[in-house]
Amino acid sequence: MDSCIKCCTRETEFGFCYIYDKLRYMNSIRFNPPEDWKPNELKKRQGDGNGGKYNSCINRYWRGLNVLVQIVGEELTIDGILKPKMIEIGSYMGESTLIFGSMVNWEEINCIDPLEGEEIMNDISKLNWTQVGVNFLHNTQYFNVKHFKDYSYNVADKFKEDEYDFLYIDANHEYESVKKDLELFIPKVKTFGIIGGHDYTDSWPGVKKAVNEIVINPKDLKLFEDGSWLIKRVNTTI
């Protein structure tokens, strides 16, 4: 019997283990959209959390985050920041981390995620936490990623104030939790740094409420078709 050459040292007959094999078929709406996805078909999408306002069938989860990261990268370049540092709260299997890492030359990507507890994504992806962790390592292997395997509120004091160029929040979407993440982590971002997150949609009223409360002028809040949001720290109340 050989060992897995892909992600671990489990014994296997096939060169890679059952976890790697399962991950190849994982149900990811970003990387592996459903078979009935028809990108060229123009129609109003129902149930997209944005009132069906996007008039196409593009993979909005893929394009929305890519557009956001491109804007973040351009802003950092304009500001002359050559070695930016970011924090991601809620990395799950590192899909969003992979997109961040591929598009900006980060000096540091700090990912915070306990990889435990109730998570709807586990039902969608049909993976357990061990498999999610293996996938995280696989997706983030090429980047300078530091993983804090804990809840955000437990590790906040490990991050310096006014040190980071970008913060992305996609963790617990309940109002109290998003509010706490914003309050604890916005101070870690430089004054002209950028703050963003996921799921500013009607499906997640807690996210919208908490974000609205820190935005000084709504016109400064940029929204993206995957439900992401973005604002400069200087335009927030924190």
What are the residues binding ligand SAM (CB under 6 A)?
A: 89-92, 95-96, 112-115, 119, 121, 151-152, 170-172
Closest CA to 196 of 103, 99, 86: 86
Helices (H), 58-119: 60-78, 95-103
- Coil, strand or helix at 173: coil
- Coil, strand or helix at 10: coil
Q: How far is the CB of 13 from ligand SAM (least distance, A)?
A: 31
Q: How far is the CB of 141 from ligand SAM (least distance, A)?
A: 15
Which residue, judged by CB position, is nearest to ligand SAM in the bound state?
90
Q: How far is the CB of 167 from ligand SAM (least distance, A)?
A: 12
- Coil, strand or helix at 166: strand
Beta-ladder partners of 11: 3
Q: How far is the CB of 103 from ligand SAM (least distance, A)?
A: 14
Instruction: Please say whether the beta carbons of 142 and 149 come within 8 A.
Output: no
Tokens standing for residue 90: 């809620």
Nearer to ligand SAM among residue 131 and residue 152 (C-beta) = 152
Nearer to ligand SAM among residue 77 and residue 102 (C-beta) = 102
- Residue 165's CB is within 10 A of a number of other CB atoms, namely 24
Burial (CB < 10 A; 0-12, 13-18, 19+), residue 81, is middle
- At residue 2, φ and ψ (nearest 5 deg) are -90, 170
Nearer to ligand SAM among residue 75 and residue 226 (C-beta) = 226
Nearer to ligand SAM among residue 4 and residue 100 (C-beta) = 100
Q: How far is the CB of 18 from ligand SAM (least distance, A)?
A: 22
Nearer to ligand SAM among residue 5 and residue 124 (C-beta) = 124
